[in-house]
Structures are given as structure tokens and as C-alpha cells.
């Protein structure tokens, strides 16, 4: 199953990474994958892989070779490019149905400030940015 392969791949490449709360990064990926668990294998695989290009040395080309063109296109759409305008990034995501579903799941988890041990102004500003992105992607 493609999603199982993506889970194992992500688990390997995101090993030892932590989220903003200091928890294993894999738990974030797991939340996103569970959020879309009723979707297609390609959507679930993309959920596991949605941060892999930004956070590791893995390339889109490698994703395509291992997981196919559909997943690679979705991962590419959801990967923020260096220096890219945030609104342009969201517009690209919105054009790819799989990326859109996965980003909505990602934002849902990222907006949950209860995960953080301490909340500061930067966290509140980031959560507001994510809420605006969520509204854009869900309308």
C-alpha cells in the first residue's frame, strides 16, 4: 500500500526531528495522516510526505520515482519555496485537490496552540496566519 510505504519513508527521514512543542515531528505527520484517513491512498501518502522536501534532503524527483506522479505533484504543490509569497503559495495549493486536503489537515493541527507548553505573541500571530490560510483554502 502506497500510504504504508510513505509512512515508513517519512518515519525514517523525519527521525530525530521535533515540532515547535519539542515533541517528535512524526506525531504531527501522524495527526495529518489520520485527519485524511478516509481519503484515497494518494492523499494519505501525501499527508505523510507533506513536509519531507522542506525538512530533509529528499527531492520531488525522488518522491515521483518512489510514490508516483500524483503524489509528487501534490507534495510539490504543498512545499513552500524559499522566498515565496505566502498568498501565492496558498493559491498553488488550492489548485491541487490533494495538496488542498492535506494542507487543511496540516493547518488544523498547527492552529492547535494547546500543543505548546507556553504561548507567546509569535505563536498567536502564527495561529492567526494559519486561520486566515484555513479560511482561504476552505472557501
HSE-CB for 107 with a 13 A CA cutoff: 22
Sign of the torsion angle spanned by Cα atoms 93, 94, 95, 99? positive
Residue 18 phi/psi, 5-degree rounding, is -125, 155
Superfamily of domain 2-138: Hypothetical protein af1432 (1.10.3210.10)
pTM score of the predicted model: 0.93
54 belongs to the catalytic site: yes
SS3 (DSSP) at 82: coil
Percentage above 70 pLDDT, the chain: 100
Give the tens place of pLDDT for each residue, 71-99: 999 999 999 999 999 999 999 999 999 99
Catalytic pick from 19, 30, 41, 55? 55
Sign of the torsion angle spanned by Cα atoms 14, 78, 34, 114? positive
Catalytic pick from 4, 54, 84, 128? 54
Amino acid at each position: 500500500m502506497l500510504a504504508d510505504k510513505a509512512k515508513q519513508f517519512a518515519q525514517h527521514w523525519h527521525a530525530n526531528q521535533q515540532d515547535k512543542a519539542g515533541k517528535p515531528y512524526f506525531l504531527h505527520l501522524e495527526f495529518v495522516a489520520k485527519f485524511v484517513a478516509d481519503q484515497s491512498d494518494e492523499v494519505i501518502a501525501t499527508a505523510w510526505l507533506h513536509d519531507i522536501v522542506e525538512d530533509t534532503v529528499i527531492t520531488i524527483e525522488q518522491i515521483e520515482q518512489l510514490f508516483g506522479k500524483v503524489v509528487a505533484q501534490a507534495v510539490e504543490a504543498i512545499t513552500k519555496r524559499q522566498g515565496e509569497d505566502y498568498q501565492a503559495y496558498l493559491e498553488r495549493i488550492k489548485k491541487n485537490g490533494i495538496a488542498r486536503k492535506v494542507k487543511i489537515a496540516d493547518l488544523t493541527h498547527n492552529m492547535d496552540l494547546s500543543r505548546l507548553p507556553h504561548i507567546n505573541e509569535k505563536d498567536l500571530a502564527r495561529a492567526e496566519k494559519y486561520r486566515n490560510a484555513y479560511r482561504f483554502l476552505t472557501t
